[in-house]
Structure 1
Amino acid sequence: MIGIMSDSHDNMDAIYKAVSVFNEKKVNSILHAGDIVSPFTGKALKNLESKLYYVFGNNDGDILTIKKWFDEIGAENCGDFGDLTIEDRHIALVHGVNNSMVKAIAGSGDYDVVVRGHTHNRGTEYIKGTLIINPGESAGVLTGNRSIALLDTDTLDVEFVEI
């Protein structure tokens, strides 16, 4: 199982809750689809019991210091695009500022799953057999809903969890 989050926007309470859920569910990997915003969020994410992969979003500030602090907790920086194979699934990880690009990546047929953020709206859709997942915003700053997602890599079932 993979844990997915995005748009945490420095909400430390929400990040601690997400970490708690991911650890409780014993996910194998966590994907953060950007908009971490500040390096200090690494303090909450360091408690993760599984590997963290992340991309930068359009609101991430000091990306050099984010990368430095996240390197110190063992997180893997994917820059603006993650091309990952996790649990035998080929996954694209993007923030998703350009929706046409997200759809093109999904439509390429190269990926089983595309994980994206940016819109703050959780949901799933399929394009040409590729699952697109937006976990929604973990910060709750735009929609008022704080959520993360859990992906069963065997069935590609997605569960959204309010945090």
Structure 2
Amino acid sequence: MLIGIMSDTHDNLPAIRKAVEFFNERNVDLVIHAGDYIAPFVARELGKLKAPLRGVFGNNDGERDGLRKALGIEDELIEVEADGMKIAVTHGTNEVLVKALAYSKLYDVVIVGHTHRYEIREVGRTILVNPGEVCGYLTGVKSVALLDTRKRVVEIFNIETGELLGAMSV
């Protein structure tokens, strides 16, 4: 399964459109959003995804009822299973929770956002993935990640240039 991973879209509709195009061009099977959509009107662009969307709330998602209705956002923490891999998704605001998930040995991958900085690193036997920010507001880099559960590889890409920013085997 090819999973698209995004976070911190912060209402930037042109950037969201680019991320959606990136995922659709690669025929991802699922898109995971690690929070900070901000407002329900982002559903116009996210609704153009060919793949289903699953996501969590971020600390800036104040209009939760609207986001729940527009996008089906579930909670602040979700689990996804794909090709035998267990994945936990949370926004990453609570660093204690992130460490607990990573060191629990229950998950192969833990996906977070919040810092707006892309990162792939090992924490114990778990891979921690932060796709960075789609919006590009803090770092100037608009990035997303791809997780190939069959090849067991995660890669981070700049959605404006297509440049590979980092990769790691899971």
TM over 0.5: yes
SS at the partner of 2:69?
helix
Q: Is the 8 A contact 2:68 2:74 kept in 1?
A: no
**Residue correspondences, number:** 158
Shift of 1:127: 1.3
Give yes or no for the alignment of 1:153 onto 2:154.
no
What is the alpha-carbon distance in structure 2 between the residues aligned to residue 156 and residue 139 of structure 1? 27
Q: Percent identity?
A: 45
Instruction: Give the unaligned 5+ runs of structure 1.
Output: 72-76
Give yes or no for the alignment of 1:26 onto 2:51.
no
Shift of 1:96: 0.4
Per-residue deviation, residues 134-163 of structure 1 (Å, max 9, x unmatched): 000000011111100111112332221112
What is the alpha-carbon distance in structure 2 between the residues aligned to residue 161 and residue 134 of structure 1? 12
Runs of 4+ in 1 over 6 A off after TM superposition: none
What TM-score, normalized to structure 1?
0.93
Per-residue deviation, residues 101-159 of structure 1 (Å, max 9, x unmatched): 21110100001110000011101111121111000000001111110011111233222
SS at the partner of 1:10?
coil
SS at the partner of 1:47?
coil
Q: Supply the RMSD in Å over aligned alpha carbons.
A: 1.0
Instruction: Give the unaligned 5+ runs of structure 2.
Output: 160-170
Aligned residue for 1:124?
A: 120
SS at the partner of 1:60?
coil
What TM-score, normalized to structure 2?
0.90
Shift of 1:46: 0.5
Per-residue deviation, residues 3-29 of structure 1 (Å, max 9, x unmatched): 000000000011111110111101111
2:81 pairs, out of 82, 85, 90, with 85
Give yes or no for the alignment of 1:70 onto 2:71.
yes
